[in-house]
């Protein structure tokens, strides 16, 4: 198992996504709002090395964000 201790995995948690024209992005400033394709009740998408591995939900406790895995995404092939 010591071999696995040296392997690093990049984890990304995605709240949602959108497409914005570059001219809108260039005009954005502090306080700008970007509307996403998800609602507050939609699950977060959790990626490991850019591969979807799970879905989850966010939780805030003592000022820290935490993500709870609610569903594993199985890939066959």
Quick one: pLDDT at residue 18? 95
Average pLDDT taken over every residue of the chain: 92
The answer to whether residues 52 and 73 touch, using CB atoms and an 8 Å cutoff, is: yes
Q: What's the whole-number mean pLDDT along residues 23-30? A: 94
| pLDDT tens track for 4-24 | 888 999 999 999 999 999 999
What mean pLDDT is predicted for residues 45-63?
94
The distance from CA 17 to its chain's CA centroid, rounded to whole angstroms, is 10
Residues in Cβ contact with 49 at an 8 Å cutoff, skipping those fewer than 6 apart: 9, 10
> Which secondary structure element, helix H or strand E, spans residue 71, and what is its range?
strand 64-72
């Amino acid at each position: 198992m010591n071999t696995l201790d040296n392997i690093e995995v990049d984890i990304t948690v995605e709240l949602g996504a959108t497409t914005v024209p570059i001219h809108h992005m260039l005009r954005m400033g502090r306080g700008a709002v970007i509307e996403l394709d998800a609602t507050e009740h939609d699950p977060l998408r959790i990626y490991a090395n850019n591969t979807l591995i799970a879905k989850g939900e966010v939780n805030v406790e003592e000022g820290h964000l935490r993500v709870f895995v609610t569903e594993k995404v199985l890939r066959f092939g």
